[in-house]
Amino acid sequence: MSAYQQRVSALQEESQAAQAEQVAITSEFESYKVQVHNVLKQQKNKSVSQAETEGAKQEREHMEMLIDQLKIKLQESQNNLQINISELQTLQSEHDTLLERHNRMLQETVSKEAELREKLCSVQSENLMLKSEHAQTVSQLTSKNEVLRNSFQDQV
């Protein structure tokens, strides 16, 4: 159960890290998106007759490539997050099941212990009673033996 709790904690930390990474990637994506829009706006503002310069084309292609890469990273982060969430839910349900089982076994142990204590007390009291009866019987037999011995001696 302790190992499961540790694993649940580790997965929660991984999930939080993945969420933080997703937020960072999303903000980076939005930043690049804004840059691309600015570049495209600048391009549109230029006269249509002007041909795009080679540097602007390369920058735009570079920005588009970065956007594609960021989209892929974002999708991977979302997939990892979903996997971690489902694994966390599975582990939490296993943890709940084990905790239930542990509590049930604890209750059974307590009830068995009480039952065995009760049996022990009754056996101890019975043992004391039998010892007392045994002592009385030995005493009676000893006195009878003494009487019979005295009687036998008198007869002899």
* Tokens (6 digits) for 27: 């903000």
Q: Is the pLDDT of residue 37 over 90?
A: no
Decide if 129 is inside a domain: no
- Give a yes or no: residue 130 inside a domain: no
Among 31-45, 74-88, 95-109, 114-128, the least confident range: 31-45
DSSP at 156: -
Rounded to an integer, what distance in angstroms lies between the CA atom of residue 29 and that of residue 32? 5
The predicted structure's pLDDT at residue 46: 67
Structural domain span for residue 58: 2-113
- Residue 9, domain member (yes or no): yes
- Name the residue among 103, 108, 89 with its Cα closest to residue 1: 103
pLDDT at 42: 78
154 domain-assigned = no
Domain count, the chain: 1
Structural contact between residues 2 and 91, judged by C-beta atoms closer than 8 angstroms: no
As a whole number of angstroms, the distance between CA 72 and CA 29 comes to 11
Whole-model pTM: value is 0.45
Query: Residue 52: pLDDT band by 50, 70, 90 thresholds?
Result: low
> What's the pLDDT at 44?
74
